[in-house]
């Protein structure tokens, strides 16, 4: 009871700070995403800008002008030989190894083909070469992967907008670490993807937006909810299980998700209220001991109520998110296939969570941001059998700090990220650099260092040092 009172008091204090009026307001800072998802594109969300002007001159240009293509070659791997102590007297060797060697082509198409109409699409093709884990998983042969990222049609009419197709819906204000950003699925297949902005996957949805003078409504319906894809065999996140992980069998059952958000703008501030019926993005796997060696994937639906706010004070943007989730699984797993899967606690509980932070423009070239996420299960001990315990108990969560500096007339971008959990069981540090050679060519590199103890889900990556390099040609 004392923990809940402290948590509520902490949330209330932060909320008062976020909504307190300021005497001055500058332009709101938007932090660029410097961590790239193997060359994926980040699209503009200004759907009511020049794309919907009544000017029909765009229709006279060549349709080829609406394409943007990026071709990139990437290498990455773990570079230091060491051992990980995963149990008393047992050390797991970690050898330096090339993990990714792949060529990718990313295609973007965006065409405002008529007044009030927009067609947007993107996709990617990847070829996996020798020494890539996808190459080895495919039987030591070149493998090719195709994926549609975005594909939607938008109709704008007056104050209304309808969008149908594959797209993302993002809730919450906290950059990269919001408790409300749970609508779209995510993929963390490689360590090159550590930013939620880049790991987010699209789903097929119908989205309606209404834009008023100072407020707007946004609602979505998803008639085919998808789930976080399991790690690919051979990837750093894949652990060889002693049982089979099966895909989710829909059995012709009708699944859907729906939600709505109301947003109100004030001078220097925004507030939002939202509600949704969702399925947890992470599938739950039943105890394989009762399924003759198969861990059968199961879904879990829940209700979400949320509130978010931001406040601009000069070059500082404060943000705050609050989420209440009804009937979430108390024993969800970040890495399906680990030993903890063998004895799951089959309980549903209510959960409250908050995320907060800031974005600060040090100068026109430099920026820094902070995001903190904290969650706790309500009545966490209720229903537990003797000897049972939860994976997440008490207050749990994570934090993220990001710094970015643009140099050489914006040709060079240096970024650094620190990410850890609130229990101080792990720390991930990233240093990245991206250099634009000319209008067509660019290069980039990353170095990632991981520290963790035996209480962290990153135990198997403790003391890893990872390097990656990418060369990109765009036209």
Segment 70-102, tens digit of pLDDT: 999 999 999 999 888 877 778 888 889 999 999
Tens of pLDDT, residue by residue over 95-144, are 899 999 999 999 999 999 999 999 999 999 999 999 998 888 888 889 89
What residue has token string 């009544």? 54
Spell out the CATH class of 2-52+64-377. Answer: mainly beta
Angle at 290 between CA 287 and CA 296, to 5 degrees: 55
For residues 339, 345, 347, 353, the Cα torsion angle rounded to the nearest 10 degrees is -50
What share of the chain has pLDDT > 90, as a percent? Answer: 55
Arithmetic mean of pLDDT, 141-161:
93
Cβ-contact 278, 259 below 8 angstroms: yes
The predicted pLDDT at position 88 comes to 78
Question: pTM here?
Answer: 0.80
**Greater pLDDT, 351 or 175:** 351
Exposed e or buried b per residue across 3-18, where buried means at least 16 C-beta atoms within 10 angstroms of its C-beta = eeeebeeebeebbeeb
Give 239's pLDDT tier (boundaries 50, 70, 90).
low
Average pLDDT for 379-394: 81
- Residue 427 and residue 400: Cα distance in Å, rounded? 10
pLDDT band at 236 (very low <50, low <70, confident <90, very high): confident
Higher-scoring residue by pLDDT: 378, 65: 378
Whether the per-residue pLDDT at 248 is higher than 60: the answer is yes
- pLDDT > 50? residue 47: no
Which has the higher per-residue pLDDT, 423 or 289?
A: 423
pLDDT tens-digit readout, 435-469: 999 999 999 999 999 999 888 878 888 999 999 99
Determine the pLDDT at residue 42: 38
Residue 356 tokens read as: 């907060």
CB within 8 A of 249, min separation 6: which ones?
296, 297
Lowest-confidence pick of 198-202, 272-276, 363-367: 198-202
Sign of the CA dihedral running 384, 385, 390, 393? positive
Residue 398 has pLDDT above 60, yes or no: yes
Cβ–Cβ under 8 Å, residues 435 and 409? no
Share the mean pLDDT of the chain: 82
Instruction: Give the tens place of pLDDT for each residue, 292-344.
Output: 667 777 889 999 999 999 999 999 999 999 999 999 988 755 444 333 344 45
Residue 398 Cα distances to 194, 281, 421, 454, angstroms: 13, 18, 4, 17
Share of the chain above pLDDT 70, in %: 78
Q: Which of 60-64, 200-204, 381-385, 427-431 has the lowest mean pLDDT?
A: 60-64
Average pLDDT of span 425-434? 95
pLDDT at residue 188 is higher than 60? yes
């Amino acid at each position: 009871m004392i923990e809940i009172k402290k948590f509520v008091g902490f949330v209330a204090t932060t909320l008062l700070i976020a909504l307190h009026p300021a005497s001055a307001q500058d332009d709101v800072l938007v932090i660029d995403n410097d961590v790239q998802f193997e060359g994926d594109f980040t699209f503009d969300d200004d759907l009511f800008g020049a794309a919907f002007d009544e000017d029909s001159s765009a229709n006279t240009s060549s349709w080829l002008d609406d394409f943007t293509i990026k071709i990139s070659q990437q290498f990455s791997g773990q570079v230091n030989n060491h051992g990980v102590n995963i149990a008393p007297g047992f050390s797991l060797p970690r050898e330096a190894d090339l993990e990714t060697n792949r060529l990718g082509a990313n295609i973007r198409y965006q065409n405002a083909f008529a007044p009030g109409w927009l067609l947007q699409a993107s996709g990617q093709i990847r070829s996996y070469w020798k020494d890539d884990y996808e190459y080895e998983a495919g039987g030591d042969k070149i493998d090719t992967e195709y994926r549609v990222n975005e594909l939607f049609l938008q109709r704008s009419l007056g104050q209304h907008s309808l969008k149908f197709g594959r797209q993302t819906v993002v809730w919450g204000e906290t950059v990269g670490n919001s408790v409300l950003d749970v609508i779209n699925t995510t993929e963390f297949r490689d360590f090159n993807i550590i930013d939620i902005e880049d790991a987010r996957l699209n789903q097929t949805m119908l989205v309606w937006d209404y834009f008023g003078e100072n407020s707007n409504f946004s609602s979505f319906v998803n008639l085919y909810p998808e789930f976080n894809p399991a790690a690919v065999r051979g990837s750093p996140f894949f652990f060889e299980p002693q049982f089979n992980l099966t895909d989710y069998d829909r059995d012709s059952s009708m699944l859907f998700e729906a939600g709505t958000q109301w947003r109100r703008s004030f001078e220097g501030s925004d507030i939002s209220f939202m509600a949704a019926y969702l399925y947890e993005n992470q599938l739950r796997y039943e105890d394989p001991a009762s399924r003759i060696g198969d861990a059968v994937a199961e879904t879990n639906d829940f209700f979400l109520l949320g509130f978010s706010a931001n406040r601009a004070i000069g070059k500082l943007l404060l943000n705050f998110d609050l989420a209440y989730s009804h009937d979430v699984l108390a024993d969800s797993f970040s890495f399906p296939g680990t030993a903890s899967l063998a004895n799951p606690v089959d309980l549903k509980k209510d959960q409250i969570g908050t995320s907060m932070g800031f974005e600060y423009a040090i100068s026109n070239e430099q920026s820094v941001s902070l995001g903190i996420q904290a969650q706790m299960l309500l009545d966490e001990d209720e229903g537990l059998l003797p000897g049972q315990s939860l994976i997440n108990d008490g207050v749990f969560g994570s934090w993220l700090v990001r710094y970015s500096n643009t140099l050489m007339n914006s040709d060079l971008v240096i970024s650094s990220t620190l990410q850890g959990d609130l229990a101080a069981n792990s720390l991930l540090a990233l240093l990245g650099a991206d250099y634009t050679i000319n209008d067509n060519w660019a290069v980039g590199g990353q170095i990632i260092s991981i520290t963790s103890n035996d209480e962290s889900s990153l135990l198997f990556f403790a003391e890893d040092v990872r390097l990656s390099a990418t060369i990109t040609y765009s036209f």
